[in-house]
Amino acid sequence: MGPDHSWTDGVGRVPSKRQLSENHAVLWTVVILASLFDVVTTMVGLGVGLAEGNAVARAFIDTYGAPGIGLLKFSALVLVVTLWALFDDHRATVVLAVFAVVSLVVVALNALTLASA
């Protein structure tokens, strides 16, 4: 079996354009809104004296201050955009769906933590 070139156009080139399907548009909407709510709920939590639970996010905040959470989220979104652009439709959908679900879970946990504070 030969190498897997599913992220190329069949002759070894990375596709230059990706069409935004309806499914991807919905997933991108969820990803962007959940990311925004993640940053907002994190900032509110930090503002009321709660500690960041994620070690990576905590390191960004310790290093860059409050803007660190935005920098971390922006970095994650750049990675998602890059993978979405490079992968075939199926894998791109998986990347978006996983990031959307993880982001929604984080927002829910943040909201629960804020509600119990």
User: Please, what is the end-to-end C-alpha distance for the chain in angstroms?
Assistant: 56
Residue 15 has pLDDT above 80, yes or no: no
For residue 29, with 0-12 CB atoms within 10 Å meaning exposed, 13-18 middle and 19 or more buried, which class applies?
Answer: exposed
Q: How many helices (H) and strands (E) would you count in the chain?
A: 4, 0
Dump pLDDT digits (tens) for 1-10: 545 555 555 5
Q: Evaluate if pTM is beyond 0.85.
A: no
